[in-house]
Amino acid sequence: MERPKSLGEFRKSHACCPSVKDEMRANLIGKLKSSDPVFPGIIGFDDSVIPQIENAILSRHHFILLGLRGQAKSRILRALVALLDDEIPCIEGCEIHDNPLKPICRACRELVAERGDDTPIAYLPRQARYVEKLATPDVTIADIIGDLDPIRAARGGHSLSSELTIHYGLLPRANRGIFAINELPDLAGKIQVGLFNIMQEGDVQIKGYPVRLPLDVVLVFTANPEDYTARGKIITPLKDRIGAEIRTHYPQTIEHALAITAQEAWTERNGRTRMVIPPFVREIVESVAFEARQEKKIDKRSGVSQRLSITCLESVVSNAERRALINGESIVVPRVSDVYAALPSITGKFELEYEGELRGAETIARDIVRQAAGKIFRKYYDGTSLNAIVKWFELGGNLRYLDTAPADELMAQFKKIQGLLEHLAPLGIKPREDQALQVSGAEFILEGLVAMKKISRNEEYGFHASVRASEEAAEEPSPAAVRRRSVN
């Protein structure tokens, strides 16, 4: 059926234009009845955040998402577009997408009065009905609400008090859609005051003139609650007008975290080499984020974003890819050593407490990677005796190599370590698997033994018996001992 192209045809089609809140509510009800996913791609919020958002939409509320960085707040807001109709009719050429049956701007009212049923109708797609603004201290009321344009007044021969001289801001241009403000506390208090009328009375005023624009818009916000004292705050009257305050959170299980990273990380490089990422490498990367969120030397108020896992895995894959290119290998298999090579993707993702600053971000990150490797190692080898491997090192064996060492070279060295390659079965690696995969599994076992303090590893000796590490520690005076000697 052909869409109406004029106001007269639109009226004859018995069409209606519900408010945005009613439109979103109706589409949400349809999705809930059909069990369609409301927010596809949002993982880990099914039993917490999403039901609260659904309740807010069903209640026709404006709402705010409160949470630390990297908790998918902006992504959720952008996903709200899916709850809008595919397209809506509006008066052609209108800057604020006026409802053909109830225009609110002066220009459209005059156009309808002049042309009547011949008023042209255009159609606005759902993607064009979402307007997003990142709040910054330099945002003005004119940016959000609008201002009077003297140039437009001069060209049209209008007085400055005429509605026809208005230059609309972002909020009026979001009419009949969704207006999102990210990091609301960064918005100056006087700008937040400018949102009062639209949220409660449903209208805005521009430059003090009695111009009433009863906008039809859904307002949604995001904020990091821990930044209020440092960067600003949401003023109390505005908070009072927000219908729902919804708290987001980080993934609560490693399974959810793995799914998010697998969805977001760029690991399919489409190169000439085949990519195989062992599950234990993915789990170590996710555990790094979990361990960092529990680390006392890291500031919990700033949070540890899920982007840490995403960028870390991408860097891990890149280091393995670089090694394969250097050695001319046909398969790319990341190792635990590649996680250490990805430290630049980790250290910038957290803020340190005072004690952590003394030790340094890279040292803290290395400790966290070791803890994460130990946690995953226990998952696979808890209760498994690996004494034969430890014995090999205690008898004087050591293993030192660069992270660019080819798989065949390492395989030859790993074969010398008694019992090492025989314990790959818990990792799902079979004896006939590709050498690169076996090397990755063997290195994981060694790193796990280091985390369990069964053996040691450092830059000078590589992997070696833990006894040597303790002897070295005994020979080298501690910083506290040095300080005591200097005092004496």
DSSP state of 487: H
Residue 17 has pLDDT above 80, yes or no: yes
Does residue 370 lie within any of the structural domains?
yes
Does residue 41 lie within any of the structural domains?
yes
Environment class of 483 (CB within 10 Å of its CB; exposed 0-12, middle 13-18, buried 19+): exposed
340 and 395 together in one domain: yes
> Given 197, 219, 247, which residue is the final one in a domain?
247
* 254 Cβ neighbours under 8 A, 6+ residues apart: 283, 286, 287, 290
Residue 316 has pLDDT above 80, yes or no: yes
Q: What is the mean pLDDT of residues 32-53?
A: 95
Does residue 487 lie within any of the structural domains?
no
98 and 73 together in one domain: yes
pLDDT band at 208 (very low <50, low <70, confident <90, very high): low
What's the confidence (pLDDT) of residue 295? Answer: 95
Does residue 2 lie within any of the structural domains?
no
pLDDT band at 134 (very low <50, low <70, confident <90, very high): very high
What's the confidence (pLDDT) of residue 159? Answer: 65
281 and 407 together in one domain: yes
Does residue 114 lie within any of the structural domains?
yes
288 and 185 together in one domain: no
What's the confidence (pLDDT) of residue 138? Answer: 86
Kindly report the average pLDDT of the chain as a whole number.
88
139 and 214 together in one domain: yes
238 and 279 together in one domain: no
> Given 227, 247, 267, which residue is the final one in a domain?
247
225 and 201 together in one domain: yes
Helix 279-294 with 254-264: angle, nearest 10 deg? 110
Domain count for the chain: 2
Does residue 216 lie within any of the structural domains?
yes
The token pair that represents 116 in the structure block: 């009547």
Concatenate the DSSP letters of all residues of 346-398 into one string.
TGGG--B-HHHHHH-HHHHHHHHHHHHHHHHHHHHHTT---HHHHHHHHTT--
202 vs 212: CA distance, rounded Å = 9
What's the confidence (pLDDT) of residue 478? Answer: 43
Q: Which residues pair with 212 in a beta bridge?
A: none
Does residue 369 lie within any of the structural domains?
yes
106 and 222 together in one domain: yes
233 and 327 together in one domain: no
Nearest Cα to Cα of residue 419 among 454, 453, 462: 454
Q: What is the mean pLDDT of residues 277-304?
A: 94
216 and 262 together in one domain: no
365 and 468 together in one domain: yes
Q: What is the mean pLDDT of residues 74-100?
A: 94
Q: Where do runs of H (alpha helix) occur along 196-353?
A: 196-200, 228-231, 236-241, 254-264, 279-294, 307-327, 336-341
Residue 459 has pLDDT above 80, yes or no: no
**pTM for this one?**
0.86
The token pair that represents 485 in the structure block: 């000697």
Residue 476 has pLDDT above 50, yes or no: no
311 and 236 together in one domain: no
The token pair that represents 49 in the structure block: 């955040």
The token pair that represents 209 in the structure block: 């003139």
Does residue 483 lie within any of the structural domains?
no
Boundaries of domain holding 268: 254-475
pLDDT band at 472 (very low <50, low <70, confident <90, very high): very low
> Given 247, 278, 300, which residue is the final one in a domain?
247
Q: Which residue has the higher pLDDT, 311 or 190?
A: 311
